[in-house]
Amino acid sequence: MNFGRQLKEGLLTQNPVLVQVLGMCSTMAITTSIANGLGMGVSVLIILTLSNIVIAAIRKLVPDKIRIAMFIVVIAGFVTCVDLCLQAFVPAIAASLGVFIPLIVVNCIILGRAEAFAYKNGVLASAVDGICQGIGYTVVLLIMCFIRELLGAGTLNGIRIIPEQYPVGMLTLPVGGFLVLGTLIATMQWALARSKNKEESK
Amino acid sequence: MTDYKNLKLIATSNPHIRSSETTRSIMLDVVIAMVPALVWAVFCFGVKALTLTVVSVVGCMFFEWLYRKLMKKPQSVGDLSAVVTGMLLAFVSPVTTPYWTILIGDFFAIVVVKQLFGGIGKNFVNPALAGRAFLLGSYAGIMTTWVDPAVNKAPLLGGAADVVTAATPLAYMKTGDMEGLKGLYSVADMFLGKTGGSLGEVSALLLIVGGVYLIWRKVINWQTPVAYIGTVAVLTFLFPKAGSSVEWMLYSLFGGGLMLGAFFMATDYATSPVTKKGQLIFGIGCGLFTVFIRYFGSYNEGVCYSIMVMNLCVALIDKYTKPTRFGVVKSDKKEAAAK
């Protein structure tokens, strides 16, 4: 187990959103304000870590054929916990995220990591993987929220930065989500290809 | 004996027929064809029309130059396509549009729609229309404020707050208020362009002059504009919303951006079909969507979106209007289609 390498994978080389292109639905829908992005990112991080731990712990008891169903049951359990917690403690965020919290059940990042990592590795490594991938997801969400909220609505966390008549409203619409995400993916691929080239030329 | 080795023969691949026509000369023709409408806009709306167009053109050229420079690609500013995009974007914007707004539109049109997809010839929708749609989505207020040319000119600086505005003919037609419209503008006013509207769209006469020049110079084919305008004419004649058929048809044809769209936007090479049959289908499709949006949509004007929707269908149209290769027998073709 190598925490540094897993963190690098989660943030950069295997970033769930920008490289694996998973969890697009929530990424598109909720990245219109920083508060939403943070709420969603942290929820996914917690659910991902916990479900990874449980799945890694029971992975040897579960028959291969019903593993997907089992993953979903475990994930749905944690999603319900987090959903109820959000509604109890931060009702404003729970209201603005709406249906996207329950939808984490079918978020491909969590199912993908369960299938690709937790089902094959130990409990500790899976927990670290959950944290790292969760951080990678949250960071990308926050970057997208930052760009879309600042340029699209002219505010940051509700505080007005750009006067009201200037912001490019289109960026808060779904079109803007696709544009920003596309630009980020392109930038990421460019950066990854560049660092790869550098390593090869060494 | 001929000394073959010292003969100055240059072997190149085809085509061998040369013509003086280049992208630059074609684009220059388009610019020339737009000048009458621009002169009218200056006369009608004030010097702001000219400065806005110049800012838009310079913005487009700058973004094109900057992108090619940063990406270390061959410079393409010289082909003047960015100039055309800049002019068209200014033409489809209200004259009161602030300079910074048009620059954002320039950026979207040139960098996002055109250059990110590979530059000239590779854009999937018309860049100027995409820029306008982007601005309309972002700044609906700015993009739907129409200065009343009969009362005042647009100020060089400052926005719509400083001018008297008026509803465009299309706004009257949306509600079916033909009496109000006729009281304000006669058919001749509409034809000559003494109405409110986007900077370059008001004068149907001068746009037709420009379009005919382009057809005469063989820059565009007659198919697309004729099919487009014809479809709108037939549909509006058959199904007038108010007033008599002929009146409604004439107001529909000369109102809004139909002439500008039909002659200058729908004929863009990169985003229109290659074959003449395809161009007819393309024009009819544009006409159908324009009338549908004007009649049933929530916007007053449908030209911009109808052309963009049809732009996306071009690959499909091209696929089904592909001419048969020379020498292919009909039965072979049927067999190939059956496979």
In this structure, the dihedral spanned by the alpha carbons of residues A64, A69, A73 and A74, taken in order and rounded to 10 degrees, is 30
Name the packing angle between helices B81-91 and B23-45 (round to 10°).
30
A160 in helix, strand or coil? Answer: strand
**Residue A134: what pLDDT?**
92
In chain B, which residues touch A (CB < 8 A)?
100, 104, 112, 134, 137-140
B236 in helix, strand or coil? Answer: helix
- Suggest the residue from B99, B108, B124, B138 to mutate for an interface test with chain A (most A CBs closer than 10 A): B138
**Residue B51: what pLDDT?**
92
Q: Residue A170 and residue B138: Cβ atoms within 8 Å?
A: yes
Q: Which member of A169, A173, A175 has the closest CB to residue B139?
A: A169
Q: How far apart are CA A174 and CA A172, in angstroms?
A: 7
For residue A202, what pLDDT band results from cuts at 50, 70 and 90?
Answer: low
- The strand ranges marked E within B80-177 are none
**Contact predicate B299/B289, CB 8 Å:** no
For residue A166, what pLDDT band results from cuts at 50, 70 and 90?
Answer: confident
In a domain, B5, yes or no: no
A155 in helix, strand or coil? Answer: strand
Q: B320-329 as b/e, with b when 16 or more CB fall inside 10 Å?
A: ebeeeeeeee
Q: Which member of A165, A168, A173 has the closest CB to residue B104?
A: A168
Task: pLDDT tens for chain B, 339 residues: list them.
Answer: 566 666 676 677 776 777 777 888 899 999 999 999 999 999 888 888 999 999 999 999 999 999 999 988 888 888 889 999 999 999 999 888 889 999 999 999 999 999 988 888 888 899 999 999 999 988 888 888 888 777 777 777 766 566 777 778 888 888 878 888 888 888 888 888 888 888 888 888 999 999 999 999 988 999 999 999 999 999 999 998 887 888 889 888 988 889 999 999 999 888 999 899 999 999 999 999 999 999 998 888 889 999 999 999 999 999 888 887 777 766 666 666 655
In a domain, B198, yes or no: yes
- Chain B residues in contact with A179 by the CB 8 A cut-off are 112
Q: Which member of B100, B112, B138 has the closest CB to residue A169?
A: B138
Q: Residue A166 and residue B100: Cβ atoms within 8 Å?
A: yes
In a domain, B112, yes or no: yes
Q: What is the CATH number of the domain that holds B286?
A: 1.10.3430
Q: Which residue has 């020339």 as its token pair?
A: B32
Q: Which residue of B has its CA nearest to A168?
A: B138
**Contact predicate B214/B204, CB 8 Å:** no
Q: Residue B112 and residue A179: Cβ atoms within 8 Å?
A: yes
- A24 vs chain B: nearest CA distance in angstroms? 21
Q: Residue A169 and residue B137: Cβ atoms within 8 Å?
A: yes
Q: Residue B138 and residue A168: Cβ atoms within 8 Å?
A: yes
In a domain, B7, yes or no: no
B112-126 pLDDT per residue, tens: 999 988 888 888 899
- Suggest the residue from A164, A165, A189 to mutate for an interface test with chain B (most B CBs closer than 10 A): A165
The CA distances from residue A8 to A129, A141, A145, in Å, are 11, 17, 22
* Count of domains for chain B: 1
Q: B15-29 as b/e, with b when 16 or more CB fall inside 10 Å?
A: eeeeeeeeeeebbbb
Task: Give the pair of three-digit tokens for residue B7.
Answer: 């003969």
B315-335 pLDDT per residue, tens: 999 988 888 777 776 666 666
In this structure, how many other beta carbons lie within 10 angstroms of the beta carbon of residue A151? 20
B193 in helix, strand or coil? Answer: coil
Name the packing angle between helices A34-57 and A67-89 (round to 10°).
140
∠ at Cα B130 (B128, B134), nearest 5°? Answer: 115
Please, is A92 exposed, middle or buried when counting C-beta atoms within 10 Å of its C-beta (0-12, 13-18, 19+)?
Answer: exposed
Range of the domain at B171: 23-157+167-320
**Residue B338: what pLDDT?**
58
Q: Which member of B100, B104, B137 has the closest CB to residue A173?
A: B137
Q: Which residue of B has its CA nearest to A180?
A: B112
Q: Which residue of B has its CA nearest to A151?
A: B138
Q: How far apart are CA B154 and CA B161, in angstroms?
A: 10
Q: How far apart are CA A168 and CA B6, in angstroms?
A: 65
In chain A, which residues touch B (CB < 8 A)?
165-171, 173, 175, 179
In a domain, B251, yes or no: yes
Q: Which residue of B has its CA nearest to A186?
A: B116
